[in-house]
Amino acid sequence: MKIAVGSDHRGVEYKRLAITFLAEMGHICQDFSPDAAGPVDYPDIAGAVCGAVVRSECERGVLICGTGIGMSIAANKVRGIRAALCCDAFMAERARLHNDANVICLGAERGSGNLREILKAFFQTPFEGGRHQRRLEKVFQIEADSLFDKNC
């Protein structure tokens, strides 16, 4: 699977470790993080990674910042992205199984002790469909309606 990966300055080392683990699992990673050292704005990275996913240049995405919260908020502003902030393998598995998440957001400041298990769960779990597909269709409808609702 081709995976879009990006981090802000707080997640550089964590991102490198994630890319190593993903490569060991047989995935190809495209890094959307800037080469220059120093602070970067997480919305820029989220936009680049999510853009690659919605354009089908990459199948899924990984976003990393200090807590994962900022990346999650920014990613979910992109139409067609279902980003999930996952702190453990259970959350990563459920994000895929029940929500068909296509981007995982991670917090580098939580430590890397369970990173391999989180990534394994996210990238090996299929979407279950069934009743979850019906719920996902409702999410898509909210997304479509909010684009034109003048009361929002």
Which residue is catalytic, options 9, 29, 50, 98? 98
**Residue where the block lists tokens 């999650």:** 72
Domain membership flag for residue 139: yes
**Residue where the block lists tokens 């919605």:** 54
Domain membership flag for residue 152: no
- Which of 16-25, 32-41, 122-131 is predicted most confidently? 16-25
Domain membership flag for residue 124: yes
**Residue where the block lists tokens 């996913």:** 53
Domain membership flag for residue 151: no
Domain membership flag for residue 129: yes
Domain membership flag for residue 32: yes
* Domain around 13: 2-146
Record the tokens describing residue 103, joined without a space.
């981007």
Known catalytic residue: 9? no
Domain membership flag for residue 88: yes
Q: What is the per-residue pLDDT for 117?
A: 97
Record the tokens describing residue 115, joined without a space.
């990173």
Could you report the per-residue pLDDT of 140-151, keeping only the tens digit for each?
787 878 766 555
Record the tokens describing residue 98, joined without a space.
């029940």
- How many structural domains compose the chain? 1
Q: How much is the mean pLDDT over the chain?
A: 91
- Which of 51-55, 110-114, 141-145 is predicted most confidently? 51-55
In sign, the C-alpha dihedral spanning 30, 67, 119, 81 is negative
Domain membership flag for residue 86: yes
Known catalytic residue: 98? yes
Which residue is catalytic, options 58, 65, 86, 105? 65
Long-range contacts of 72-76 (CB under 8 A, 24+ apart): 72/105, 74/42, 74/43, 74/46, 74/47, 75/46, 75/49, 75/50, 75/103, 75/105
Q: What is the CATH number of the domain that holds 112?
A: 3.40.1400.10
Distance CA 13, CA 28 (A): 18
